[in-house]
Structure 1
Amino acid sequence: MSKEIQKITEQSSKYRHLEKMSTQELLKNINAEDQLVPLAVQREIQSIEDVVEVIVKQFQKGGKLFYIGAGTSGRLGILDASECPPTFGVPAELVNGLIAGGDKAIRKAVEHAEDDTKQAWRDLEAHHIQKEDVVIGIAASGTTPYVVGGLEACQSKGIITGCIVCNPHSPISKVSDFPVEVIVGPEFVTGSSRMKAGTAQKLVLNMITTSVMIKLGRVKDNKMVDMQLSNAKLKKRGRLLISEALGVSEEKAAELLKTHGSVRKAIEHETHQ
């Protein structure tokens, strides 16, 4: 007997009459709900591990990672993708975030964009998707047509799929080779999945890309040795990383950074002297 999707993300909040709560009551209750999120993520560690391992494997074959989503979920995928190049020094095209409705949907909702089951594949094709890539659908409900259609198209072409959803046994999970189902329960404001569900998705995305990059050698000890030095704050962080790693003054670290152009090269050159 097939299991029916449980729309837990749409269930009524266990809190009533929010408008009558004091500011402190609102904040304490939101915080109490938020504390449930990492526990829900913890229950999915094995599924997240499976996703990480397959992404590493596909990256080593020359593949890329794509996130597809709508609304908050799409924006979270874009955020995670955009943070990989400056943090880990990887090419911008290695991790990609696609949102229903295109770039204008990053800031404003695009009406009916998420209802098009064909558009995600068109968006993926525009980014030159290939068989070595991995596509992860992000959707709190697990039902977004844009995501379902995109993952179905990928599976039909032998492309590895995964998902991050917050309802069990969803249509998106059924078209995912590597589903991650983080069941955080009803939202504080009924149906507002930008809250706990969005937090859960962000935590999982952090875990996936950080673990993948560490496995690929983009972190040395506990340091972002390949980060881009694109502003004064990051240059200072680079100097401090070199200073700590080599036991030299910040002034000496600044000289090494200027000479070698990256934290990794400075540390490795001096270590092998």
Structure 2
Amino acid sequence: MMSATEPQGESSVARVPMVPVAPHPPLRRYYAEEGERQVFLNELFNRTAYQYRNIDKATGFGSGLWYRRKALREAGLKPGMHVLDVACGPGLVAQCARAIVGPSGSVIGLDPSIGMLREAQKGPCRNFVRGIGEQLPFPDRTFDFLSMGYALRHVSDLKTAFSEYRRVLKPGGIVLLLDICRPRSPFLLSLSRFYIKTMMGIVFAASTGNRDMKTLMEYWWDTTEYCVPSETILSALGEMGFVDASLHEIFNGLLRDYRAVKAEKTV
């Protein structure tokens, strides 16, 4: 595994003065200052990473890997492509991408949590790097495809992250962002909030004896509930040099994925 380094080379859109766009307001219940957020996240994920595959099965009712493969294929992932999976967690998206790109392609997973990277190493992928999405330790124009599964809420600034995604993608490269969001239906919103924030938090904390599981599920839902609207995400992608940005959703907007392409002509 590697540590993040200062990106070099191709000029980044992020170098242009711009107003930062956080994915959600600071959640003071979990950390006192915004600068403490990444430390809080790393420590929380380090202590709960061993249960993340079980969480995925419970939230997706066993359909998580199928849904990831479907989204990757529909976004344009093909055999032979070189993929970067940002905030890879236990490597579920990376695992699905590896099955699609085959032996002629490659997949690298990146995550700031040592615990998550250890879990990811237990899967079929072996190429993992420690780092954050806002400062990718890769040369310009390295990848054909960049994915991020259910972690957009954890970046500090959408524009900085998207600028880095654009930098490491080849012209014509594809970005796919999977997310869990607030459903529009008041009933489904209340049901989702209860299931994820309350029920799953209690069940996982009780079954594992790990109180951090309750904190994890509560934080997961709070970042979902207060996340910026999809229009903000699509607009940030466009500002950072992506084209053909689109939103695809199911279950009344509970599951959404954002797709965009790096413009062939770069600035």
TM-score class normalised by the smaller sequence:
0.3 to 0.5
TM-score of the pair, normalised by structure 1 = 0.34
Per residue, is there more helix in 1 or in 2? 1
Per residue, is there more strand in 1 or in 2? 2
**Larger CA Rg, structure 1 vs 2:** 1
